[in-house]
Each structure stands twice: as structure tokens, then as C-alpha cells.
Amino acid sequence: MTRLIDPFQRTIRYLRVSVTDRCNYRCFYCMPTQGVQWEAREEFLTFEELTRVIRLFTELGVDKVRLTGGEPLVRRGILQFVRQLSALPGLEDLSMSTNAHLLSDQAAALRAAGVRRVNISLDSLDPAVFRRITRNGDLRSVLAGIDAALAAGMEPVKINMVVMRGLNDGEIEAMFDYAVSRGADLRYIETMPVGEAGIDGTGHFMPAVEILARLKRHAGAELVPAKGGKGAGPARYYQVGEGPVRVGVISALSRHFCDDCNRVRLTAKGDLVLCLGQEDRVSLRDGLRQGLDDEAMKELIRAAIARKPRSHDFNEDRQRVALRHMSSLGG
């Protein structure tokens, strides 16, 4: 069986694909205050190019693909693209990360086309705080999108809350109650040193252990590592008491997940990003547009994976890493 194995014997099975750098929100931890200079559209990979690259990855053993952005639902033709991907042999799990602003009208069609599950960013249930974080977000649209995803049968629907001290940390318990009421999974994410929220001196960072202690007090039950413990991504899951409720934490700083990292990222312009916290990247777009055949492209991918670093450098050079912005990296 063909597999992609990096220098540290980690099998790469998970590809995150950014289909656009555009987004209809301006979350301050994702985009700089002054905005970003959008890439020219001809710089983006076409859906045909993206489909070819993803097919090559599936032939090399990748079986999980997540579509990201920016905001993937703002790119025209996304539904037909999903249908193309769903037809690829070997692709077992097709999912999407979204801010859900446009999801209420598209959830049913996306599920029918092949998106099995979604991760939805929701950092606050307070409309004023939500607008402050997103700069222009509409909380009602996001909540409607979550309900639509659940109604469409997407499973699981995961809510991602970036916990920021002094901004939304007072909602840790309320977000838990909301997720339980909807039957959605909930993942608390430590603020990472990427973008403005990660620059030293902001004071937003809150470690996972503190988040979990708050949740334990609120639930009045022990948090036990869930069976399986981890999924394909970086979250560590806990079961609340003896019931069915599970919560996850993503702790890039306080307890990194590099040892079993199984993923790489493809940007909308065709750069293969080998680690979110490192500079290493390889252009696949150049190979595509130079006319390389499938075997030559696979060799380019193998050579890139051979450069995947052991771990991120968030802790070593936080200021430099903070200059990157998540909107251009695909999350």
C-alpha cells in the first residue's frame, strides 16, 4: 500500500486545502487590522488543478481532506468542486471548516454532495463580543448555520472556540451549555501565536489546563480522557462524567501535538505548507503549470514530505511566527 511517511515516521493521511484567501469576516486573530492584500485570482489554483492535486494525494495514501479558506463558501463553484472530490477513490472523509455565515442556505446541498462534517468557528454567544472579535460578523447567521448543519445530518458538527483571556473567557461555561443543548461537539482552542492575538503582550493566552478546570467545576463531574483520545486532528478529547458529552482541547502551546502530526496544508495558490509553525513550504502550482505528469508530481510531493519538520517553533520565536496570518495559511 502506498503511504506518505515523513522523516520522523509519521504517516501523512490528512490534507487541509484552502480554496480561497477571501473571507467575509475579519477576525482579529486571523487577519491584520489594516487588512490583507488579496492574491490575484489567477494566482489561485483552479478547481481542476485542486482536484488533480487532491487525487494525487489520495493515491499516495491520504484519505482525509478538509476544505478551508479564508471562508470556503465565498468561492463560486464550491458545490460542484465538492461533488468532484466526493467521486475520488480512496477519499474516505471530506469535511469543511467554515464561519457558517453562509451555511444555512447551503448545508443540505453540501451534505448531499459529500461533505460529511463541518467545523464551525464560534468564539462568543454575545452579539457585541462576537462583532468585536469578527469585526463585522452576524451571530444570528452563524447560529442559523449551525442549526442547518445539524438538520442536514452532518455528523459531527464541531464548534471551535478560541479562548481569549479578557475577551471571551467568561463564556467557557455558556459555550459548553450551548453545545450540549444542540448535540454538537465542542473544542476549546488555545490562542496561538499567529496574527495579532498571538503577539507577546496581548495577554489573551489561556492554557488548556485552566480551561478544563473551569469546565470541570461547571459540569460538576470528572473529565476523563475519551476512548480513542484523539481524532485525525490535533484535539484531545475528554468525556464529561459518565454521560455521552465530549469536549476537546487544542493546545498548540501548553501541550503540543507534534509527535503524531499527520497533516499538511495546501494553500489556495498551491503552496504545500508542511507545518503551521514553520516556514517550510513547497510550490505544487509551479509543477502543475510547468506540465509535470502525475508521477513527477507525486515525486515532488514525496520530496516535500521528506522536509516536514519534527515540530513547530511557536515557543522559540513567538514574535516572528505571529507575523503570519491564519487567513493565508488555511487554518
Residue type, 253: L
Calculated CA dihedral for residues 256, 262, 282, 41, nearest 10 degrees: -90
* Of the listed ranges 145-154, 291-300, 319-328, the one predicted with least confidence: 319-328
Say if residue 41's pLDDT is above 50.
yes
Please check whether residue 308 is in contact with residue 275, taking contact to mean a CB–CB distance below 8 angstroms. Answer: yes
Report the C-alpha gap between 60 and 13 in whole angstroms: 9
| CA separation, residue 225 to residues 133, 153, 245, 288 (Å) | 31, 26, 12, 44
Say if residue 44's pLDDT is above 60.
yes
* Of the listed ranges 24-33, 108-117, 257-266, the one predicted with least confidence: 24-33
Place of cell 475519551: 226
pLDDT for res 177: 95
More confident position, 31 or 223? 223
Output the CA angle 282-232-284, nearest 5 degrees: 15
Count of other CB atoms within 10 angstroms of residue 301: 23
Residue type, 49: E
User: Which of 194, 247, 190, 187 is closest to 216 using CA atoms?
Assistant: 247
3-class DSSP state of 68 = strand
* Of the listed ranges 231-235, 272-276, 281-285, the one predicted with least confidence: 231-235
146-161: pLDDT as tens digits: 999 999 999 999 999 9
User: Which of 70, 78, 77, 68 is closest to 21 using CA atoms?
Assistant: 70
Kindly give, in sequence order, each residue whose CB lies less than 8 Å from that of residue 236, ignoring residues fewer than 6 positions away.
225, 229, 230, 248, 249, 250, 251, 255, 257
User: Which of 43, 105, 49, 41 is closest to 79 using CA atoms?
Assistant: 105
Cell of 20: 480561497
* Of the listed ranges 221-225, 252-256, 299-303, 307-311, the one predicted with least confidence: 252-256
Q: pTM score, two decimals?
A: 0.90
Please check whether residue 190 is in contact with residue 163, taking contact to mean a CB–CB distance below 8 angstroms. Answer: yes
DSSP string, 191-240: PPSSSGGGSTTS-----HHHHHHHHHHHHTS-EEEEEEEE-SSS-EEEEE
Strand 263-266 with 14-18, pairing: parallel
181-220: pLDDT as tens digits: 999 999 999 987 655 544 444 578 899 999 999 999 998 8
Report the C-alpha gap between 318 and 324 in whole angstroms: 10
Helix H or strand E segment including 67: strand 64-68
User: Which of 276, 267, 264, 269 is closest to 303 using CA atoms?
Assistant: 264
pLDDT for res 202: 53
Report the C-alpha gap between 113 and 43 in whole angstroms: 27
Q: Please, what are the domains in the chain? A: 4-328 (3.20.20.70)
The mean pLDDT value for 296-300 works out to 98
pLDDT for res 28: 82
Please check whether residue 156 is in contact with residue 184, taking contact to mean a CB–CB distance below 8 angstroms. Answer: yes
